[in-house]
Amino acid sequence: RLLDLVTNIMEMARAEKMEESGGQLLDRRPVNIMDIVDEVIGMTEMAVDKSGRHLVGSNVIMVNNVCKGKLPMVVGDSYKITQLLYNLVTN
């Protein structure tokens, strides 16, 4: 999983360089971070490792403590942001 995280960071750097040169790899649209955090929590609760074991034990409760209503919409690629947060949480 650490390799996935490094790969994703390198991909983001490559995308930034491409955008600087006039190309576009990212789908830049208004993004609601609250929705992405909720999605990552759901994905993480259902995630299993290679042997089929859940990454989050049944005694662990994941809570979204991001302040509701206090975060502005941001412009970004929701898929890439979701991917990045998921990798951070699962590593």
User: For 1-28, what is each residue's pLDDT tens digit?
Assistant: 667 777 777 777 777 777 676 666 667 7
Give the contacts of 23 (CB within 8 A, at least 6 positions apart): none
Quick: pLDDT tens for 29-41: 899 888 888 888 8
pTM: 0.64
Q: Assess contact for 8 and 57: CB atoms under 8 A.
A: no
